[in-house]
């Protein structure tokens, strides 16, 4: 339950710190006193957005802190929201920072605010399903269904993405297959371009090279005199006289080395010359091959055979990848079928559980509605199949209602007045409160559109709810304000400089009598109103 609320620098509230008891807490005040301001400040704890209008002083932070007590576990929760003048927001749980989403999730489990016009939720499909799920206790099954549903949606999204990728690949596959075919037909070999270019140069100048070699060989053997033989003879003569002059042998050795080198050169010239082929046919074949390579390089923007080979391999891999994608797509579709069967099975079980709870929900809710001065009211909760499966299952829950017997039973949104909707919503909240562990519920003028005996009956229902949980009733009706519970008055006062401030305090005894009398008669209290107020309060205490 909400045990303490502290508000600083919010709208007309400069500073406020107040505690609340268990049970029914009644909040009243004149129009404009600031009841909605209190609710607005508390809504910040629920994670709602805030703007610059929340500040009464733009130089200070706005701080809202709420303390809750769990009667079952004895744990204390302190939720705090801090908003800076710059618009930044920080959230805390027991002084530990949490995200705004976490703050909202935590607060939604411990407090529910029913604001004005929230009865319009009766027409909301998700709210209706939430009602039957709370009543039927489908939470574990619904959680499992939503897990499978999420996996199904994720798998379906993956399939659509893969199908788009395959379709795009198939649009280009014919052209890429043509490219691959040309590159494969070329039978490219790494390093062949350099080898071809070298061979082309040799073939193109074969006759000139051969002539040069023959001329060089002739120079080494002029007029049938071998330069090698002459070097050998000269070396021998020097060696013969080296015993007389030590300087001659080194010269002989050098000449012998020259002879050996010249002999090697002669043999290499002969070998090279004999290996040179003058072949116009081979030259043409080499130049055609080079032309093919150059053409492929220009066409595909490559600067080497290696780059062409890399492109060829990439095209082959991409075309092979499309086949792999097709195989993966088939696997995903099988997995999707399994998930679809599972989610439909769970949806059917949800429908069965919801349908099984409809009669009991309808009966209990109808009894509560009839107790609010609608003795002939008929209420039916009807589960019908939805057009498609959603995150909530495969059902639609219709609320059928008539205030005048079953003959005029129609969808509640089409036949119920504002006052009737308020009573149905109160009955529904009371019913849910019996089937949930929510410790605190706030009603913000749920009595809108009703008065007299109806308001008195609604007050009785709210009072009964307050026996099981903490109920805050913000009301403008004396029939509700006089019910047994703690009464708080929201008031407006003015500072010396004329600045309006909102405050709240607990009232008892004669002050409470006066407040109920004001609600009965207006600003001018009459003795009849005071007496009537005493009677209402005395009746509530019995």
Q: What is the pLDDT of residues 486-508, one digit of tens each?
A: 999 999 888 877 788 888 999 99
Name 343's Cβ contacts closer than 8 Å, sequence gap at least 6.
Answer: 145, 148, 149, 152, 389
Does residue 378 register a pLDDT over 60?
yes
Q: Does 365 map to a domain?
A: no
- Domain membership flag for residue 420: no
Distance CA 112, CA 439 (A): 9
Q: Angle of helix 280-300 relative to helix 139-186, nearest 10 degrees?
A: 150
Are 70 and 193 within one domain? no
Whether 270 is covered by a domain: the verdict is yes
Asked if residue 514 and residue 478 are part of one domain, the reply reads: no
How many Cβ atoms are within 10 Å of 514's Cβ, its own excluded?
A: 16
Provide the 3-class DSSP secondary structure of residue 133.
Answer: helix
Contacts of 533-541 spanning 24+ positions with Cβ under 8 A: 533/478, 533/482, 536/478, 536/479, 536/482, 537/482, 537/512, 537/513, 539/482, 540/463, 540/482, 540/483, 540/484, 541/484
In a domain, 346, yes or no: no
One domain, residues 296 and 224: yes
457 versus 52: which is more confidently predicted?
Answer: 457
Q: Give the integer Cα–Cα distance in Å for 360 and 351.
A: 15
321 confidence band (pLDDT: 50, 70, 90):
low
DSSP label at residue 90: E
CATH number, domain containing residue 487: 3.40.50.300
Q: Do 44 and 182 reside in the same domain of the chain? A: no
Residue 383: phi, psi to the nearest 5? -90, 125
- Distances in Å between the alpha carbon of 285 and those of 199, 281, 288, 376? 11, 6, 5, 105
Mean pLDDT computed over 111-133: 78
Which tokens belong to 475?
């009301």
Q: Which of 22, 123, 68, 71 is nearest to 465 (CA)?
A: 22
pLDDT in tens, 471-485: 999 988 898 999 999
Contact in structure between 255 and 231 (CB atoms under 8 Å):
yes
Q: Are residues 79 and 184 in the same domain?
A: no
261 shares its domain with 188 = yes
Q: Residue 422 falls within a domain, yes or no?
A: no
Domain that includes residue 281, residue range? 164-324
Do 7 and 40 contact (CB within 8 A), yes or no?
no
Note whether 449 and 518 are same-domain residues: no
pLDDT of residue 118: 58
What ranges make up the beta strands (E) of 446-497?
Answer: 470-474, 486-494
Sign of CA dihedral 126, 127, 128, 129: positive
Residue 377 to residue 403: CA distance in whole angstroms: 4
**pLDDT tens for residues 9-32?**
888 888 899 999 999 999 998 877
Q: What is the pLDDT of residue 103?
A: 87
d(CA 165, CA 173): 12
Residues 230 and 316 in one domain: yes
Same domain, 187 and 198: yes
Residue 47 has pLDDT above 90, yes or no: no
Least confident of 106-110, 143-147, 399-403: 106-110
| 255 and 198 co-located in one domain | yes
- DSSP letter at 60 equals S
Comparing CA positions, the residue from 38, 33, 32 lying closest to residue 10 is 38
The verdict on residue 189 lying in a domain is yes
The tokens for 61 are 């932070």
Query: For residues 235 and 256, what is the distance between their CA atoms, to the nearest angstrom?
Result: 6
Query: Which one of 269, 289, 324 terminates a domain?
Result: 324
Average pLDDT over the chain reads 86
CA 446 to chain centre: 36
What pLDDT shows up at residue 335?
A: 94
CA angle 94, 100, 103 (to 5 degrees): 45
Q: How many domains does the chain have?
A: 3
- pLDDT computed for residue 324 by the predictor: 77
Determine the pLDDT at residue 303: 86
Same domain, 278 and 210: yes
pLDDT at position 340 is 96
Detail the DSSP E strand segments found in 445-497.
Answer: 470-474, 486-494
* Average confidence (pLDDT) over 219-236: 82
Average of pLDDT values for 252-274? 86
Query: Beta strands 76-83 and 89-93: pairing type?
Result: antiparallel
- Asked whether the beta carbons of 173 and 333 are under 8 A apart, the reply is no
Is 153 inside any structural domain? no
10 Å Cβ neighbour count for 420?
22
Q: In the listed set 259, 294, 324, which residue is the last one of a domain according to the structure?
A: 324
Mean pLDDT of 133-142: 92
Express each pLDDT in 51-72 by its tens digit.
766 777 888 899 999 999 877 7
Asked if residue 228 is part of any domain, the answer here is yes
20 and 56, same domain (yes or no): yes
Around Cβ 3, how many Cβ atoms within 10 Å? 17
| Separation of alpha carbons 176 and 311, rounded Å | 11
């Amino acid at each position: 339950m909400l045990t303490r609320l502290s508000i600083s620098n919010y709208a007309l509230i400069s500073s406020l710190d107040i505690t609340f008891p268990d049970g029914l807490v009644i909040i009243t005040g004149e129009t404009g006193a600031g009841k909605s301001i209190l609710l607005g400040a508390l809504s910040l704890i629920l994670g709602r957005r805030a703007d610059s209008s929340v500040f009464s002083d733009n130089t200070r932070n706005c701080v809202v802190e709420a303390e809750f007590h769990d009667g079952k576990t004895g744990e204390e929760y302190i939720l705090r929201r801090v908003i800076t003048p710059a618009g930044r927001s920080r959230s805390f749980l027991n002084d530990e920072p949490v995200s705004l989403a976490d703050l909202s999730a935590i607060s939604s489990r411990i407090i529910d605010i029913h604001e004005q016009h929230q009865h319009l939720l009766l027409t909301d499909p998700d709210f209706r399903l939430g009602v039957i799920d709370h009543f039927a206790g489908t939470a574990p099954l619904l959680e499992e269904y939503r897990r499978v549903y999420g996996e199904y949606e994720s798998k379906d999204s993956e399939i659509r993405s893969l199908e788009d990728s395959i379709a795009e690949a198939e649009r280009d596959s014919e052209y890429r297959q043509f490219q691959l075919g040309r590159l494969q037909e070329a039978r490219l070999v790494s390093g062949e371009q350099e080898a071809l270019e070298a061979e082309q140069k040799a073939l193109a100048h074969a006759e000139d090279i051969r002539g040069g070699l023959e001329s060089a060989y002739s120079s080494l053997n002029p007029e049938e005199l071998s330069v090698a033989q002459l070097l050998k003879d000269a070396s021998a003569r020097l060696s013969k006289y080296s015993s007389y002059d030590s300087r001659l042998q080194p010269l002989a050795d050098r000449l012998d080395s020259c002879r050996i080198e010249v002999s090697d050169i002669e043999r290499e010239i002969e070998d090279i010359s004999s290996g040179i082929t003058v072949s116009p046919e081979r030259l043409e074949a080499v130049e055609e091959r080079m032309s093919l390579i150059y053409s492929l390089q220009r066409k595909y923007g490559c600067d080497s055979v290696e780059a062409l080979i890399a492109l060829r391999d990439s095209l082959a891999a991409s075309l092979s990848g499309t086949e792999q994608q097709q195989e993966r797509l088939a696997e995903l579709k099988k997995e999707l079928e399994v998930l679809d069967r599972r989610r439909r099975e769970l949806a059917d079980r949800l429908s069965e559980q919801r349908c099984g709870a409809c009669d009991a929900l309808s009966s209990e809710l109808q009894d509560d509605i009839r107790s609010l001065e609608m003795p002939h009211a008929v209420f039916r909760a009807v589960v019908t199949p939805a057009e498609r499966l959603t995150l909530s299952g495969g059902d639609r829950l219709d609320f059928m209602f008539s205030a005048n017997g079953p003959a005029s039973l129609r969808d509640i949104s089409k036949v119920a007045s504002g006052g009737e909707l308020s009573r149905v919503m109160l009955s529904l909240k009371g019913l849910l409160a019996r089937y949930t562990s929510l410790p605190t519920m706030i009603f913000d003028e749920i009595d809108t559109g009703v008065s007299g005996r109806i308001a008195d009956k609604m007050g009785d229902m709210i009072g009964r709810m307050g026996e099981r949980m903490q109920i805050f009733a913000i009301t403008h009706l004396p029939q509700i304000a006089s019910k047994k519970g703690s009464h708080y008055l929201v008031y407006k006062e003015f500072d010396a400089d004329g600045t309006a401030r909102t405050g709240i305090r607990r009232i008892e005894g004669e002050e409470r009598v006066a407040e109920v009398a004001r609600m009965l008669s207006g600003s001018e209290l009459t003795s009849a109103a005071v007496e009537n107020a005493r009677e209402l309060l005395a009746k509530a205490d019995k």
